[in-house]
């Protein structure tokens, strides 16, 4: 197989250039025409031009993996094109042509190939679970049965938008404390390993007049300077071990349990998981997805093993013919008020609407909790950093002040 450089005019009138691999010029030309393009020029790639292909590969690697933002853009564009009367195959072809991310473009082309082969769109996207989660797949499957494809895509896009915004808020609330904490550690290490050793000669032989804080810090500084390689290795191994532990089932359980137990952040995380769970459940119920599938998907998407366990218990209870509230009333994970509102929605037959209202309420509460946590952590971190730096500074200044008095 050889590489050929081409220049084409797309169906939209745009001129594009690139490289394609084929067994012959005729095969390459046929492949381009199958994409609906008019071939302007086509020639074998010269040996000296191979670097272009390597550069393209490097750009593809640097592009990274497709994200939920790519899925959101894809869903929004597809909804608009379907609503405009464009058939699914042509819509996928048009979106692929406009997509700049090479990895996601390949996914869209695979979807188009499956649809052309007679597969349902829901079955096609189910082959890419890292991009299209079970909620996406099941809502699309429900729309294929009801004939409301474009409306369902709009609802999916709104859901993804909400989840992306929520994630941004939570990550944003974590960034500032992380930066302040990192700065505090860096400043402390710098003072202990670069500043304090400079005073070792000044304080040598005067240990009797040194306060305990200075003695402690000088000893700690000497130990860190002498054993810095051991300390760095221990930190790397320890950090890697902790990270690996959090990826295990037991580690994931303890991390998720801590999120719901630490006083400062537990309210924020609780609001996050309640909002995510109930919004997912409400969207699936309103889309007409069967209740057992809805509960299973809700547990998988909740994002916390504690909540996942809750929805699995509810799933088992409903599977036995019981109501949703039967399992919720015996579980302290959800507030009593939420369980009561779900019970009211279940009795009235408006469970989907009730869940949407509860999720909206907890989304607003999540925003308030994030603001409260951020405003609370900020002064605490600044105070902690100031205390550490101030302690080190006083440990240096006090003995100098004492020695100056003795000299006088």
Which of 304, 302, 305 shows the shortest CA–CA distance to 275?
302
Only one residue has tokens 């939420």, namely 338
Identify the structural domains of the chain with CATH numbers, from first to last: 2-62 (no CATH), 68-162 (1.20.81.30), 173-408 (1.20.81.30)
For 345-384, the DSSP string reads HHHHT-HHHHHHHHHHHHHHHHHHHHHHHHHHHHHHHHHH
Q: What is the pLDDT, as a whole number, of residue 234?
A: 92
Q: pLDDT digits over 360-407, tens only?
A: 899 888 888 888 887 887 788 888 888 888 888 888 887 777 666 655
- CB distance 42 to 25 below 8 Å: yes
Q: What is the pLDDT, as a whole number, of residue 334?
A: 87
- Helical (H) or strand (E) element with 6: strand 2-9
Total H helices, total E strands in the chain: 18, 3
Claim: this prediction has a pTM higher than 0.85: no
Q: Give the gyration radius of the chain's Cα atoms.
A: 30
Q: What's the half-sphere exposure (Cβ side, CA atoms, 13 Å) at 350?
A: 8
* Cα(393)–Cα(304) distance, integer angstroms: 43
- CB distance 112 to 93 below 8 Å: yes
Instruction: Give the other-Cβ count within 10 Å of 71's Cβ.
Output: 22
Q: Which parts of 10-121 are beta strand (E)?
A: 15-22, 38-44
Residue 222, both tokens: 């000497």
Residues with pLDDT less than 70, the chain: 1-2, 7, 12-15, 25-26, 40-64, 207, 402-408
């Amino acid at each position: 197989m050889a590489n050929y450089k081409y220049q084409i005019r797309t169906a939209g009138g745009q001129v594009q250039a690139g490289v394609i691999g084929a067994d012959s010029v005729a095969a390459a030309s046929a492949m381009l025409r199958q994409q609906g393009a008019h071939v302007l020029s086509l020639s074998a790639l010269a040996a000296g031009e191979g670097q272009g292909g390597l550069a393209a590969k490097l750009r593809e690697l640097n592009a990274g993996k497709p994200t939920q933002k790519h899925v959101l853009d894809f869903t929004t564009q597809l909804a608009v094109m379907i609503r405009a009367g464009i058939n699914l195959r042509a819509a996928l072809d048009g979106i692929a042509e406009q997509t700049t991310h090479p990895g996601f473009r390949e996914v869209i082309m695979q979807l188009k190939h499956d649809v052309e082969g007679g597969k349902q769109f829901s079955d096609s996207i189910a082959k890419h679970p890292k991009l299209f989660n079970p909620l996406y797949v099941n809502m699309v499957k429900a729309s294929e049965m009801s004939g409301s494809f474009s409306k369902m895509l709009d609802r999916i896009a709104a859901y993804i938008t909400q989840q992306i915004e929520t994630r941004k808020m939570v990550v944003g609330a974590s960034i500032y404390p992380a930066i302040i904490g990192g700065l505090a550690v860096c400043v402390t290490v710098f003072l202990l390993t670069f500043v304090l050793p400079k005073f070792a000669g000044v304080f040598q032989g005067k240990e009797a007049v040194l306060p305990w804080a200075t003695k402690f810090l000088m000893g700690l500084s000497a130990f860190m300077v002498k054993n810095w390689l051991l300390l760095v290795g221990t930190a790397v191994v320890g950090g890697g071990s902790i990270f690996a532990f959090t990826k295990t089932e037991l580690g994931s359980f303890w991390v998720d349990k801590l999120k719901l137990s630490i006083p400062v952040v537990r309210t924020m995380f609780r609001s996050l998981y309640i909002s995510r769970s109930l919004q997912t459940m409400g969207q699936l119920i309103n889309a007409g997805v069967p209740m057992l599938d809805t509960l299973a998907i809700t547990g998988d998407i909740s994002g916390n093993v504690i909540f996942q366990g809750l929805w699995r218990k509810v799933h088992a209870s409903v599977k036995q013919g019981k109501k949703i509230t039967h399992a919720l009333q015996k579980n302290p994970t959800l507030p009593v008020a939420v369980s009561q509102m779900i019970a009211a929605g279940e009795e009235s037959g408006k469970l989907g609407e009730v869940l949407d209202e509860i999720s909206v309420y907890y989304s607003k509460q999540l925003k308030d909790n994030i603001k409260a946590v951020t405003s609370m952590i900020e002064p605490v971190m600044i105070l902690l950093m100031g205390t550490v730096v101030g302690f080190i500074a006083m440990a240096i200044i006090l003995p100098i002040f004492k020695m100056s008095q003795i000299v006088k």
